[in-house]
Structure 1
């Protein structure tokens, strides 16, 4: 077993992202990679090369998405669309600096988690 992994019997004692959160993350990654993330806001913006050029760009997209994402007490995602829009706004501004993000990003939206 690799360090940091758990056996099936250990999983019962570990907290896990809800199925709804995992599905939201999966669809967000799919739309992002497929070029269909908020098609209205990103229409005509070829953002995929910009995201892949430097890892920190893609890292910020996921940071904003997960910082904005809200989950209720049962683990159900309650604002997936809002989280996607905020991430799309950041992408649009990154690719087109003349685009004005409204409302402007708050520090908590762009704060990186972890060490």
Structure 2
């Protein structure tokens, strides 16, 4: 392993993942985009969709040289846009389509 590469998530990256999980579980992810959209029931019935939601957040999240997140709200927004499309069948108005790289499972 390259010694210049950290072996653990930075506190900021770990916090970003924790916050995203909390927002998702409380039903407040992407607020106000998903207001009135009951996504929790949909995700509970299809765990693989929750996996994709987390993949989008993680794939879009960018880290600086110290491993700290620089675009956490944007990553949350893209995951929320995907949830909106999953639950309603369409993207929110003005939202660009979800790119294949955003939802790729690694």
TM-score (norm 1): 0.82
Q: Which residue is equivalent to 2:33?
A: 41
List runs of 5+ in structure 2 lacking aligned partners: 1-5
Inter-partner Cα distance in structure 2 for 1:60 and 1:97: 16
Deviations along 1:20-59, whole A, 9 cap, x unmatched? 0000000000000001112210010011010110111100
Pick the aligned partner of 2:86 from 75, 94, 102: 94
Counterparts of 2:21 and 2:54, CA distance in 1: 9
Q: Which residue, out of 20, 24, 46, partners 1:32?
A: 24
Q: Secondary structure at the match of 1:98?
A: coil
Inter-partner Cα distance in structure 2 for 1:59 and 1:94:
13
- 1 or 2, which has the higher helix percentage? 2
Q: In structure 1, list runs of 5 or more residues that go unmatched.
A: 1-13
With the length of structure 2 as denominator, give the TM-score of the two structures.
Answer: 0.89
SS for the counterpart of 1:58 is helix
- Which residue of structure 2 lines up, in the alignment, with residue 107 of structure 1? 100
Aligned length: 100
Segments of 4+ in structure 1 off by > 3 A?
A: 98-101
Distance 1:85 1:99 in 2: 12
Residue range with higher mean Cα deviation, 33-42 or 95-104: 95-104
